[in-house]
Amino acid sequence: MDYLRLPGTELEVSRLILGCEPLGGTDWGDFRPQEVEQAVCRAWDLGINGFDVADVYGLGEAETRLARCLGSRRREAVIITKFGVGWQAGAGLARALTFRDASPAHLRAALEGSLRRLKLDCLPLYLVHWPDPRVPVEETIAALQDCQRQGKIRYFGVSNYSGAELRRAAAAGTLAAVQGSFSLLDRRAEAEALPACRQHGLAYLAYGPLAQGLLSGKYGPCAQFPVTDRRAGSPAFRAARDRAAPVLSRLQAVADQIGRTPAQVALRWVLDHPGVACAIAGARTPAQAESNAQATGWTLEADRWEWLGGPPAWSRP
């Protein structure tokens, strides 16, 4: 497993981070708790020490399950959790109503909830899940700094911020990391977020490197998903699937040439991007965790990397 120290911190994290949203038990179809929990344990055994979760995943259930899976190892792990999405669950609702809330009051309540569910006294890395247009980012950052001074979080950062929002947040306080979507099918970060991270010396943690499974090559244009799977009714997923064929063809060609799977090549492409510190990939089974881990410990040759995605805003060294 490859590791790096997040700039300006003492956190040494695996370059492949396990995405723990599946632990919440919602949005991804059939849920087998035992298999998903075994995937967490297998990831740890493979050297993955970074675990990305959020309070809203399963309305707290993902954090609770992650703490149970890791046991005492949770104090050694780099657990990244997020706040900034509130929810309202109640009788008659098919699912909880969610809304953005990055206010200081919500932050304090959310932090206490995450600490309790994760059974920790201090969170290694706490992120604002989404920007909240109703709350000045300076207020949110000031509240995070207060929590840091109180010893309840070691470092903080932001997620899903635009380049302009990111620069404003970085001016308000010392960010440890930035999280955002990035894959061969979603390269929007190259236009704003990655240049902003470069400017401020921030680590970019890329989620969605497999584009919700599209880049694994498992889902063709006629693939069907149950209604309990968010991909079933997602216009963004359908649009990505419609334009995926050329990328999947190149992925398969490279995978065949080097004896890897398309998913491993897609993950490696993200990890080899000069603007990316870590890639966040979920796993619903131990086998998936093992396969994803095989995307580490090697690199794509420069010509293959460029052929897969074309040159980005700056060249790969």
CATH fold, domain 3-309, is TIM Barrel (3.20.20)
Listed in sequence order, the residues at least 6 apart from 94 whose beta carbon sits closer than 8 Å to its beta carbon are: none
Instruction: Output the pLDDT for position 316.
Output: 41
Q: What is the pLDDT of residues 248-267, one digit of tens each?
A: 889 999 999 999 999 999 99
Structure-token match 């207020």, residue found: 139
Domain spans, the chain? 3-309
Question: pLDDT tens track of the chain, all 317 residues?
Answer: 999 999 999 999 999 999 999 998 776 667 688 899 999 999 999 999 999 999 999 889 999 999 999 999 999 999 999 999 988 876 555 677 888 999 999 999 999 999 999 999 999 999 999 999 999 999 999 999 999 999 999 999 999 999 999 999 999 999 999 999 999 999 999 999 999 999 999 999 999 999 877 898 776 666 666 766 666 667 777 777 777 788 888 999 999 999 999 999 999 999 999 999 999 999 999 999 999 999 999 999 999 999 998 654 444 43
Q: Kindly list the catalytic residues.
A: 57
d(CA 215, CA 286) in angstroms, rounded, equals: 19
d(CA 296, CA 31) in angstroms, rounded, equals: 27
